[in-house]
Amino acid sequence: MTFSDSDIAYMKRALDLARGGAGHVSPNPMVGAVIVAPDGRIIGEGWHRRFGGPHAEVNAVRSVTDADRHLFPEATMYVTLEPCSHYGKTPPCALLLKECGFARVVVACGDPNPKVAGRGIAILRDAGIRVDEGLLRDEAYALNRPFMTAHRLRRPYVVLKWAQSSDGFMDAVRTDESAGAYRFSTALTSQIVHRRRAMVDAIAVGARTVLADNPRLDVRLVEGRAPQPIVFDRHGLLRDVTSPLLDRAILIGDENLDTVLHSLYSDHGITSLLVEGGASLLRSFIDAGLWDDAFVEVSPERLGEKWVAKAPSLPDVPVGCEYIGDNMILHYEAPITH
């Protein structure tokens, strides 16, 4: 399929709109939609703003003025993801587009969710609507990589995160056990961590991290919803421990990691998971090859002989490097497979 420069421009606009849902729509995908009249005017646009709320296509249709609604049978809708075809928290968008009678729908990327998976496009085509697929597909896929990965592999998209010294250690000997973990992050990089937490469905730590640091695993330095805490307690260390965190956490015992991830997806609806530590838990994900993104914050500080926890290492070359003050954040990314 050959697309025009105008097609590309309208889809880029839809992708820009879709990003407005970041941090608010998961486990749903970020989606944007643009409605274009035959004369090239954008007469409607919208995006999925929050989980449980109207989808992008609905918001786009609602934004069209009464004076322009008669143009639907001649208009084109550009949408970044295949319109849904099932009843969930909202009715199927594919049926709405069918009722509107659009002349053409341009879809960037198919929806891998088994509840959709081609059915939305089939509804439109069966209604006589021309559907063109694949415009800026790679960009649309990358925008919702966690969603795509979760539904393709039936496990959460896994993001690893840790901070370490320049000589490769995550913690130092503590003279006062009440002092908590050795801190490498700055005030600014801590905000970045909390923003990252707000972008995922769940956050995981190991039992020793809970015992040593009593973490809150919430979002408080930025606006956003708190993820579901998950605690891996493979050796029963928390059997007699009580804490507010454990009251709301999903506890994982000594189970196969691949099985655990599939269960988090199928039983709890978790499509993205941030793993923050400790070192042993992080290594288990790396060794199993069950990770998709990783962010490693490196402080210029050296721990020397004070170390107690060697940081994990990743087998790949970082795809990005950013300096936040004196600290460096390395970004690693597992290859995308469509």
Catalytic center residues: 57
- What is the rounded distance in angstroms from the CA atom of residue 16 to the CA atom of residue 4? 19
CB atoms closer than 10 angstroms to residue 69: 13
What span, in angstroms and rounded, lies between the C-alpha atoms of 317 and 332? Answer: 7
Q: Measuring CA to CA, which residue among 172, 191, 167 is closest to residue 325?
A: 191
Whether 81 contacts 48, CB under 8 Å: no
- Listed in sequence order, the residues at least 6 apart from 70 whose beta carbon sits closer than 8 Å to its beta carbon are none
Phi, psi of 142 (to 5 degrees): -65, -35
Sign of torsion over alpha carbons 46, 50, 54, 55: positive
Other C-beta atoms within 10 Å of 338: how many? 9
Instruction: Take residue 2 and report the two structure tokens written for it.
Output: 């050959």
Q: How many residues does the chain have?
A: 338
- Of 139, 137, 140, 132, whose CA–CA distance to 2 is shortest? 132
What are 35's strand-pairing partners? 44, 77
Closest CA to 133 of 29, 37, 3, 26: 3
Kindly state the helix (H) or strand (E) to which residue 95 belongs, with its residue range: helix 93-100
Contact 258, 290 (CB under 8 A): yes
Cβ–Cβ < 8 Å for 147, 175: no
DSSP secondary structure letter of residue 182: P
SS3 150: helix
